[in-house]
Structure 1
């Protein structure tokens, strides 16, 4: 049997305010093309199908078209819910969807009820463990005192292994694939994942999954191998500039008569690259070295000595997909560093410089009033002035 492992679609996510639905539709078409080209039997999606619990109508439409394209390419689909999904909403109509080859495994109570897919060697059991929030799932799993993700996952895996043992006792033991949405010890986050630490320690051990032929993990957004049969596929698109160096991919997993036989990585097409650029507005607009980024999503750090006006609009003439902009004072210019600027200067000189920078050079009359204000502040700090003291004595 041939399985394609993808995850963390996050349909409906935006990127610095930019709608990504068109990009997501394109990458799901690429996944469907891989299914057709590689004769994939089953596609597994371990969580975060959507980016929010209540996805928009457009996000649902893109997701459904993706499912339809994959199914039309010849694969059965098995998916679970992640921490971004609503298990109830994602799993709505699951029984009817299963009749068409889309299996949505979102119920904690059904972690030990696998989807069975048969090939020439016999059955393969696909178990789906949705995202397990300790606070809301510990009672349902029969561990009311559990507080950590590890304890909750252990309880779920006990049920999975018990079901596998029962099936083995009844005849030929099935080969097994597990879908789980979790943060496994030893894996690396990219920064675009939402924390799942609410309710206890968030990490779990890879050994928690022992006894399963292949573990398809979701939650972290870069492809990672924690063991030959324990892997993250990562997200199909980058969702932060911290992922700009990642090449997005899927795993194609082969099971033979005895279990896992091979795993091969397949890179996904780059729908739109990510670039982080640094320079002045003039340099970014004219430099040939930035030509490669003209069609990328761009984050720019401006180093102009003075904050440029309307820089976003100006730079979008060359970089139409500029999504993030910040300005930083050049570190090498000591005149622009506050400490250097005020060292050895009087309060009046500093105030004069401030007024000049913020508005215009103050008049002599304004300087006199400023000097009087400083004098009053000093007297207030030192104690009542002489006239106030005399008045206090006369009253006494």
Structure 2
């Protein structure tokens, strides 16, 4: 079976406040072209269709248009991600299935494959441990435990179908051990590891993954399609693409198709006057710009003056040359890379001057878990 693998559309998201919907629409145009021209048997959207549980109207309209266009060409399989609302994304799923759009958001469907050409495709939505462990009979409320339980059901279904070789694929929304995360992703777990071993998917010819925004392999059979567009400046070095995958029992081939660059990303460094006057920087004027100013004294109205040349400057940092270094670097540097739990703990520490106690940390963890499960169940 020949699959077009995409994921992490995050429709409704902005880039430092700038809208992304036009950029995402152009990327979806490319998906439609690939599905039409590459003899695709099914399109797989591996979760996070929307950026939040209650997406804006324009985002819903774009998703509706995209699924309609793709389903005119071949079946489309969509799973919910950790940003999606199970009930809202899964609304009218049985009706949509009659039109060739298979939206899978429920645990009960994990072992019910979707026939695609000569193969079988199993769709595993994002499995929030606190909501799915009991249903799946998992031994623990962890990401690894619930995914293992779901995959046990998948393998049992395959075994019941007999030994005849057929291509098999699974799509899932998860963080596989060894893969590289991006700053724009929401952490899947609080107070513990969200990673699952690649061996969880053993016995499957291809695993179409969602959640991580950089295209990459994950284990011997897994691949992240990555997001349609970049959501953070570090993603500038990882070009966006979709994957055209030929899934065969004795081997799988994958071709990456580049997605269009709506607006490039540029990280610039220097004094404000250098950035405003350097003729060589003209190439970055249409780009989204992250500027790090090295002026010894912070210039007045720095962002406004920067935007006079770079209208899409969206991020500004200050690292004065010759200034006495701060004990822990800039405040932005101290916060960089922190997950949600660590960020709140740092906020408590900075405001109060004392780190959260073990009991306070436990309360914060419970609050994050409650919020996350509420969003998934909404």
TM-score, normalized by the shorter chain, greater than 0.5: yes
Q: Which moved more, 1:19-28 or 1:262-271?
A: 262-271
Whole-angstrom CA distance in 2 between matches of 1:167 and 1:106: 24
Whole-angstrom CA distance in 1 between matches of 2:102 and 2:190: 28
The alignment of Structure 1 onto Structure 2 pairs a total of residues equal to 326
Structure 1 residues 338 and 188, CA gap change in structure 2 (3 angstroms): closer
RMSD of equivalent CA atoms: 1.8
Partner of 2:156: 162
Structure 1 residues 338 and 129, CA gap change in structure 2 (3 angstroms): closer
Tell me by how many angstroms 1:9 deviates.
0.8
Whole-angstrom CA distance in 1 between matches of 2:66 and 2:40: 15
Tell me by how many angstroms 1:289 deviates.
2.4
Q: Is the 8 A contact 2:41 2:116 kept in 1?
A: no
Whole-angstrom CA distance in 1 between matches of 2:287 and 2:299: 22
Q: Is the 8 A contact 2:205 2:252 kept in 1?
A: no
Pair 1:137-2:132 in alignment: yes
Q: Which moved more, 1:24-33 or 1:219-228?
A: 219-228
Partner of 2:89: 90
Correspondent of 1:307 among 291, 298, 302:
298
Tell me by how many angstroms 1:21 deviates.
1.0
Partner of 2:168: 176
Partner of 1:278: 269
Q: Which moved more, 1:91-100 or 1:286-295?
A: 286-295
Tell me by how many angstroms 1:305 deviates.
2.7
Tell me by how many angstroms 1:19 deviates.
1.4
Whole-angstrom CA distance in 2 between matches of 1:109 and 1:150: 18
Partner of 1:40: 40
Correspondent of 2:224 among 222, 232, 238:
232
- Secondary structure at 2:95 match in 1: helix
With the length of structure 2 as denominator, give the TM-score of the two structures: 0.82
Whole-angstrom CA distance in 2 between matches of 1:285 and 1:69: 44
Q: Is the 8 A contact 1:29 1:69 kept in 2?
A: no
Whole-angstrom CA distance in 2 between matches of 1:203 and 1:328: 35
Q: Is the 8 A contact 2:93 2:103 kept in 1?
A: yes
The within-5 A match list for 1:1-396 is 1-72=1-72, 74-118=73-117, 122=118, 124-143=119-138, 145-168=139-162, 172=164, 174-198=166-190, 200-256=192-248, 258=249, 260-330=251-321, 332=322, 336-337=323-324
Tell me by how many angstroms 1:304 deviates.
2.2
Which is greater in Rg?
Answer: 1
Tell me by how many angstroms 1:173 deviates.
5.0
Which consecutive residues of structure 1, in runs of 5 or more, have no partner in the other structure?
A: 340-396
Whole-angstrom CA distance in 1 between matches of 2:116 and 2:273: 60
- Secondary structure at 2:209 match in 1: strand
- Secondary structure at 2:223 match in 1: strand
For 1:141-199, what per-residue CA distance to the aligned partner results, in whole angstroms no more than 9, with x for missing partners?
123x4122111111000101111111226xx4542110011111111111111000147
Structure 1 residues 53 and 272, CA gap change in structure 2 (3 angstroms): same
Q: Is the 8 A contact 1:295 1:321 kept in 2?
A: yes
- Secondary structure at 1:159 match in 2: helix
Tell me by how many angstroms 1:318 deviates.
1.6
For 1:65-85, what per-residue CA distance to the aligned partner results, in whole angstroms no more than 9, with x for missing partners?
22223233x121101011111
Q: Which moved more, 1:10-19 or 1:302-311?
A: 302-311
With the length of structure 1 as denominator, give the TM-score of the two structures: 0.78
Q: Is the 8 A contact 1:147 1:200 kept in 2?
A: no
Q: Is the 8 A contact 1:167 1:173 kept in 2?
A: no
Q: Is the 8 A contact 1:134 1:152 kept in 2?
A: yes
Which consecutive residues of structure 2, in runs of 5 or more, have no partner in the other structure?
A: 327-378
Q: Is the 8 A contact 1:112 1:160 kept in 2?
A: yes
Whole-angstrom CA distance in 2 between matches of 1:250 and 1:58: 23
Q: Which has the higher contact order (CA 8 A, sep 6+)?
A: 2
Whole-angstrom CA distance in 1 between matches of 2:325 and 2:258: 49
Whole-angstrom CA distance in 1 between matches of 2:22 and 2:314: 16
